[in-house]
Amino acid sequence: MRTASEDLTTKARIRDTAIGVFGSQGFTAGVRSIATAAGVSPGLLNHHFGSKNGLRTACDEHVLRVIRESKAASSAPTGMMEQLARIDEYAPLVAYIVRSFSAGGTLARELFEHMVDDAVRYIDDGVRDGRFTPSRDPAARARFLTRQNVGGLLLYVQMAGPDVDFREALSALGDEITLPALELYTDGLFTDSQALNTYLEART
């Protein structure tokens, strides 16, 4: 007969295995393949989680908890995933997060809002200490930057193909966009404020 502590350990192992399988194969991966990877029977998996949906919910909750508690998470708009991707034990979580953004759902929405909140605080700090220029709508600017960065990441990963290494992809994407991003943020794109003024006049 299994003890409660053994059941807890087995449940955590199944959950962690599922995060890895979902991250590498996507959410079409079946219960049987996850159970095989975890070294348990499909029946034991269902005993702990009830169903594939129950397992997915447990995975979502665990990933969110790790993100919130992790000391590695940066407050910059995309820094969180870049920091986590550099730590081997978090690599499956990064893959799972990217798959979740592609699939949508509760985790994607909550994680995106978490990233936006971090971006708001990060940029506000920069405005106060003089690193960043103020915005007419700080929350909208933070949301725009976060959406652009997450969207760019998803497109990059999608074009890399099904066998993408998420750690390598994040590193390569960072190398590719750092110079143009810094140039754009530092020097700007337009040579004058005509487009902005026209928009503001039309909006009012």
pLDDT along the chain (204 residues), means of 10: 56 94 91 95 94 93 79 48 60 85 86 86 91 94 91 86 78 85 91 94 89
Q: What distance, in Å, lies between the first and last C-alpha atoms of the chain? A: 72
Q: Domains of the chain by range and CATH?
A: 1-69 (1.10.357.10), 70-189 (1.10.357.10)
Dist. CA 66–CA 84, nearest whole Å: 10
Residues 86, 89, 95, 97, CA torsion sign? negative
Q: Return the number of other C-beta atoms located less than 10 Å from residue 190's C-beta.
A: 8
Q: Which residue has the tokens 């979502």?
A: 60
Dist. CA 46–CA 37, nearest whole Å: 15
- Tens of pLDDT, residue by residue over 68-124, are 776 444 444 445 555 555 556 677 888 888 889 888 888 888 888 888 888 898 889
Cα angle 73, 74, 79 (rounded to 5 degrees) comes to 105
Q: Token pair for residue 72?
A: 């590695």
